[in-house]
Structure 1
Amino acid sequence: MTFNVTVQPSGRAFTANPDEALLAAAIRQGIGLPYGCKDGACGTCKSKKLEGTVSHGPHQAKALSPEEEASGFILTCCAVPHTDVVIESRQVTDESAYPIKKMPSRVSTLTRASHDVMVVRLQLPASDVFKYHAGQYVEFLLRDGDRRAYSMANAPHTQADNPGVELHIRLMPGGKFTEHVFGPMKEKEILRIEGPYGSFFLREDSDKPMVLLASGTGFAPIKALIEHMQFKNITRPTVLYWGGRRPADLYMNDWVQARVAEMPNLRYVPVISNALPEDNWQGRTGFVHKSVLEDFADLSGHQVYACGAPIVVDSARAEYSALAGLPAEEFYADAFTTEADKHKASA
C-alpha cells in the first residue's frame, strides 16, 4: 500500500510508503522539494499541509513549533503519511534532482587550512560521472551506519579534468568523524559517500543582486557558488560577508581576495566577532549577519544565500525579512547542523 502525495501549486505528485517520510519519498522519485539537514533540526523543509494526515518523528521546536504544527505546517523530512496528502511547497523542480549515488572515494589530499579546519580532497571513480549543483552536499556512510554531511567546496565544472570533491571539515572536539579526520586519517584511505543532497544552489533564472553570507566553514558551499559564477560568467552584483571569531577562522581569505580581483561584480566584507589585540584586526567587527543590515537597509530586491551555524542562519532569515523587507522565498540557506544539534531533537 502506498499513499499519493500532491504538491501545490505545481501539481507534481509522487507516492510514499506508509513508513516513509515524505521527503525521502520525494528524493527517491526525483522530486525537488526544499530541504537541508533531513533530521528535523533546520526547518528548511517546512511546508503547509492542505489535506491528509501525517505523524511527525522527533524534531526540534525551532524547526517546527507546536503552534506551527497546530496551524497545519509539517516538516517533510520527518512527516510520515497515514492517508493521501496534499502539501504546499514553494519549490518543486527537477532542476535540483540529480540522481543520488553511493560510491567509493579515496582521500587524495589532507591540508590544514587553520588550527581546526581540514581541507579534504576526495578522488571519485573516473568511470562514473558525479553530477551535482554548486552548494549541494554529500554524506559519508560510516561503518556503524551513522552518516556525516559536508558541503562540496568545488564547483561541478572542476570534475571535468579531475573527478573529485573538496570538503572543509571543522574539528568538533569529541566528534566521532572529525576526530578521525584530524587524527588517524591518511591519504589513500577509502570512504563511502552518497549524494548529492540539498536544495541550496544558485537560482540562475534570476538577475537580482546577491548577498552571500557565511560563518566559519559555511564558506565551503559559498566557495563552490563563487567558482560556478566565475565559470559561467554570471555578473550579477554580489557581496560576500564571511564571519569568524578570529581572523584565522577566515581560512581562505587570500583565495577570496584573488577572486575579487578577477570578478569586478564581487565584493568581500570579512567580519570578526572576537578579535584580540594581538590580531591587529582593522576590519569590520561584530555579528556577521548584522553587518549585512548595517549596509543594506532594503533587501527587498535581493537574493540571500546563507550558510553556517544555525544561529547565524536563523537570525539572518528572521531579521532580513522583518527589518529589511527580504522576501521569504528569496532566502536560501544551508544551516550546518552538528550531531549534537540533531540529538537535541530527540531529547
Structure 2
Amino acid sequence: MNTIRCKIEHVSPFNDAVYRVLLTPETPFDFNAGQYLCVVMGENDKRPFSIASAPNAEFIELHIGAAVSESYPMQVIERLKNQSHIDIEAPGGEAHLRHDSLRPRLLIAGGTGFSYIKSIVEQQIALGQRVATTLYWGCRTQDAMYCEALAREWHATHPWLHFVPVVEDASPQWQGKTAKLLDQIQQDFISLNGYDIYIAGRFNMVGAARERFREMGVEEAHLYGDAFAFIK
C-alpha cells in the first residue's frame, strides 16, 4: 500500500454511533470497489476501514462506528476532528468487486459493514451493470441502520437490486424482516451454489456466516470478505 496525505473535508455523525468521514487525497490513487485503507495513527499504529465510496467518487468516504469514548475507532474520530490532514495507506484487500462476473450477487452487511457494500453497489451503478443482486443489511435496531433511506432508494430505482433490511429488535412500525441476519439468509435460501457472495461486518459474524454457508453449498472461491484474511 502507498502512504498518501489527505485533506479532511468533513466529519459528522450519521447517528449516535456512526460517523461519516470525507477525505481528499493529495495524490490520486486507484482502488477497486470493496477495498480498504488504513488511517495512520502512528508508525506502528495503522487502522483499517472500508472505503465506502466507489472509485469514481469525488471524495474518499469512510463510515466509522465509534460509540464509546476513548475506544479504538473514537480515537480516530477525535484525531480527524482536530486535524486538517491525515495520512492513509491505500489500497488494501482482495475482497473487491469482480465486475466481470455475471453470476448473481449476494451482498451481506452487518452494521457498519454497509460501508464495504456501498462501494460495491455504487460501482455497479457507475458501470451500468444489471447483474441480479440481493443486499441484506442486518442491524440490532432500525435506528442503527444509518443509511436505510439510501438502500431503499437503490431498491426502488434499480430493478436488478433487491434490498432486504433485517433488524433484531423491531418497532411495530418496522417495514422489513425481524430476525438475526444469518438466520434470515438461511431461511430465504435453500442453496448458495452459483452466487458471488460479498460479506462485511464483525469478525465473529463473518466467521459464523462461512460455517453456515458451507452447509448451504457455498463455493468458497466465490465468497469474498476481508475478514477471512484474519480468521481461519
User: Which residue of 119, 126, 137 corresponds with 2:20?
Assistant: 119
Letter in 2 for 1:231: A
Q: Is the 8 A contact 1:141 1:148 kept in 2?
A: yes
Q: Is the 8 A contact 2:207 2:228 kept in 1?
A: no
Aligned pair count reads 230
Per-residue deviation at 1:233?
1.4
Across the aligned residues of Structure 1 and Structure 2, the Cα RMSD in angstroms comes to 2.2
Q: Secondary structure at the match of 1:134?
A: coil
Which has the bigger relative contact order, CA under 8 A and spacing at least 6?
Answer: 2
Unpaired runs of 5+ residues, structure 1, are: 1-99, 343-347
Letter in 2 for 1:249: A
Name the TM-score, length of structure 1 as normaliser: 0.62
Letter in 2 for 1:115: D
- Could you list the structure 1 runs, at least 4 aligned residues long, displaced by more than 3 angstroms after superposition: none
The aligned residue for residue 299 of structure 1 is 192
Q: Secondary structure at the match of 1:166?
A: strand
Letter in 2 for 1:193: I
* 1:240 maps onto 2:151 in alignment: no
Instruction: Provide closer, same or farther for how the CA distance between residues 150 and 319 of structure 1 changes in structure 2, counting only shifts above 3 A.
Output: same
Name the TM-score, length of structure 2 as normaliser: 0.91
The aligned residue for residue 74 of structure 1 is none
Per-residue deviation at 1:294?
1.0
Cα distance in 1, alignment partners of residues 137 and 118 from structure 2: 11
Q: Give the fraction of aligned pairs with identical amino acids, expressed as a percent.
A: 30
Cα distance in 2, alignment partners of residues 336 and 220 from structure 1: 17
* 1:178 maps onto 2:71 in alignment: no
The aligned residue for residue 28 of structure 1 is none
Q: Secondary structure at the match of 1:201?
A: coil
Letter in 2 for 1:102: T
* 1:211 maps onto 2:106 in alignment: yes
User: Which structure has more helix as a fraction of its residues?
Assistant: 2
| Deviation readout 1:160-205 (Å, 9 max, x if unpaired) | xx3x310000115232442451x46437621110110000111123
Q: Secondary structure at the match of 2:226?
A: strand
User: Which residue of 123, 126, 132 corresponds with 2:31?
Assistant: 132
Q: Is the 8 A contact 1:110 1:187 kept in 2?
A: no
Cα distance in 1, alignment partners of residues 42 and 98 from structure 2: 36
Per-residue deviation at 1:214?
0.2
| Deviation readout 1:129-179 (Å, 9 max, x if unpaired) | 210001000001113631111010000011xxx3x3100001152324424
* 1:154 maps onto 2:53 in alignment: yes
The aligned residue for residue 157 of structure 2 is 262
Per-residue deviation at 1:225?
0.2
Cα distance in 1, alignment partners of residues 99 and 79 from structure 2: 41
Unpaired runs of 5+ residues, structure 2, are: none
Higher Cα Rg, which structure: 1
Q: Secondary structure at the match of 1:335?
A: helix
Cα distance in 2, alignment partners of residues 231 and 242 from structure 1: 21
The aligned residue for residue 40 of structure 2 is 141
Q: Is the 8 A contact 1:172 1:179 kept in 2?
A: no
Letter in 1 for 2:225: A
Cα distance in 2, alignment partners of residues 283 and 224 from structure 1: 23
Instruction: Provide closer, same or farther for how the CA distance between residues 113 and 336 of structure 1 changes in structure 2, counting only shifts above 3 A.
Output: farther
Instruction: Provide closer, same or farther for how the CA distance between residues 180 and 193 of structure 1 changes in structure 2, counting only shifts above 3 A.
Output: closer
The aligned residue for residue 288 of structure 1 is 181
Cα distance in 2, alignment partners of residues 176 and 295 from structure 1: 36
Instruction: Provide closer, same or farther for how the CA distance between residues 311 and 231 of structure 1 changes in structure 2, counting only shifts above 3 A.
Output: same
Letter in 1 for 2:132: P
Cα distance in 2, alignment partners of residues 101 and 185 from structure 1: 20
Cα distance in 2, alignment partners of residues 131 and 112 from structure 1: 27
Per-residue deviation at 1:333?
1.0
